[in-house]
Amino acid sequence: MKDQILNKATEMFLTLGFKSVTMDDIASEMGISKKTIYQHFSNKDNLVKDATTNLFENISCGIDEIILADKDPIEELFTIKEFVMQHLKDENTSPIYQLQKYYPKIHKSLMIKQFDKMGTCVIDNLEKGIQLGLFRKDIRKELISRFYFAGMTSIKDVELFNPKEFSSKTVQSCYLEYHLRGICTPKGTIQLETIINTNK
The H or E element spanning position 162 is none
Express as a percent the part of the chain with pLDDT over 90: 71
Which spans in the chain are helix H?
2-16, 23-30, 34-40, 44-68, 73-87, 94-102, 104-131, 141-154, 168-183, 186-199
Domains of the chain: 2-199 (1.10.357.10)
**pLDDT at 99 exceeding the cut of 80:** yes
Per the rule left: phi > 0, alpha: psi between -120 and 50, beta: everything else, 52 is alpha
175-191 pLDDT tens trace = 999 999 999 999 999 99
Q: Compute the distance between CA of residue 54 and CA of residue 190 in angstroms, rounded to an integer.
A: 38
CA-atom Rg of the chain in angstroms: 19
Express as a percent the part of the chain with pLDDT over 70: 97
Mean pLDDT of the chain: 91
pLDDT of res. 156:
83
Total length of the chain: 200
8-23 pLDDT tens trace = 999 999 888 899 899 9
Report the range of poorest mean pLDDT among 12-21, 26-35, 170-179: 12-21
**pLDDT at 85 exceeding the cut of 90:** no
**pLDDT at 200 exceeding the cut of 80:** no
Q: Compute the distance between CA of residue 155 and CA of residue 170 in angstroms, rounded to an integer.
A: 11
- Of residues 122 and 157, which shows the higher confidence score? 122
∠ CA 156-159-161, nearest 5°, is 55
